Amino acid sequence: MTEPVVSVRDLRVYYGTPGDPVRAVDGVSLDIGAGEVVGLVGESGCGKSTLGRGILGLLPDGARSHGEVLYGGRNLVGMSAKDLRSMRGPELGLIFQEPMTRLNPLMRISDHFREALEQHEPKLTGKEIENRSLDTLGRMGIPPTRFRQYPHEFSGGMRQRIMIALALVLRPKLLVADEPTTSLDVIVEGQILRLLADLKENFGTALLLITHNLGIVAEACDRMAVMYAGRIAEEGPVKEVFFDPGHPYTRELLRSTISLDTTELHSIPGAPPNLINPPPGCRFHPRCPSAMQICPQKEPIEQRLSDGRRVFCWLHGPDEQIPSGGREELERAEIGVADEA
């Protein structure tokens, strides 16, 4: 990969509570290069959306972030709200998880696009603003005859496409897309993926695609990161992760997908842990079918595999960190995890 557009280093995002904080993102490191699409997957409640918003500095009151998000030689963590606001749009973009709820009901669609483009690209003429807006909307399947209508005149799916187009019209260098195809049919989903591919190929946009749909990851992403309980469990090229998952959690996620060959439904027993008080050691060990004695005792160390993947799992060593007695004594039956599941 070339020089990354954004480098996340040991990012932590905690939400305040009356007691201990919720450790929604707890030590995540990730790089995204120009023209690269990284898929972020995992169960609900694992911190995916918080990671995306933490990268862009879009956190609610009561949240605190630590670590580094390096973009253009600057650390976005701790940057002033004014500076971050000036970068959002042409530099940093976000497609919200429920974009259909983000349109102002008192403004026409044309006014939404004019406001965004005038704010960030004031040199554009009125005709240039209209042409660029209509071009982006057209790629989303919205005809020009509807450009001056109000949000209530559109269906929910069309409002979602309009909001996605509003994020893309500024051609951001880094785009976080949080479940951009939720509740959309497969035809519109294909249109959105083609538009994202156009941003990647023609504008070099770095894209973090947050999704539950592993089929979209297989089709649209270059690399994928699997997130569990606020941390990255595995990260690497999509093809290698799909064909040879290195982490038990990744393997169980892939087994849970449905295809034309599916004859029996599979699910992962249990649920993600409470992030106020997560399990010690490997956070997946209470649900892991391959858990060993060391798993609840020590946090797994990052292991670099030969195919470019990073895996945080004791199945990959390092051997020098495993207690004396050999790996044979660390088989899962020792702690009874699989039996409980």
Prediction pTM value: 0.87
Instruction: Give CB contacts under 8 A, 24+ apart, made by 149-156.
Output: 149/108, 149/109, 150/105, 150/106, 150/107, 150/108, 150/109, 151/103, 151/104, 151/105, 151/107, 151/109, 152/105, 156/100, 156/183
Tell me how far CA of residue 307 lies from CA of 235, 238, 302, 310, in angstroms: 11, 11, 14, 9
Higher pLDDT, 174 or 341: 174
pLDDT at 320: 58
Rounded to a whole number of angstroms, the distance between the first and last alpha carbons of the chain is 40
pLDDT at 261: 80
Read off the tokens for 13.
Answer: 């995002």
Positive/negative CA dihedral, 114, 161, 209, 46: positive
pLDDT at 206: 92
- Is pLDDT above 60 for 337? no
Confidence of residue 338 (pLDDT cuts 50, 70, 90): very low
Give the model confidence (pLDDT) of 220-256 as tens digits: 999 999 999 999 999 999 999 999 999 999 999 999 8
Q: With contact defined as beta carbons under 8 Å apart, do 23 and 14 qualify?
A: yes
Higher pLDDT, 110 or 326: 110
The rounded mean pLDDT for the chain is: 87
- Is pLDDT above 90 for 186? no
Query: 10 Å Cβ neighbour count for 155?
Result: 9
CA distance 294 to 285: 10
Out of 137-141, 233-237, 269-273, pick the least confident: 137-141
Name which of 39, 49, 42, 41 is nearest 13 in CA terms: 49
Which amino acid, one-letter code, is at 166? L
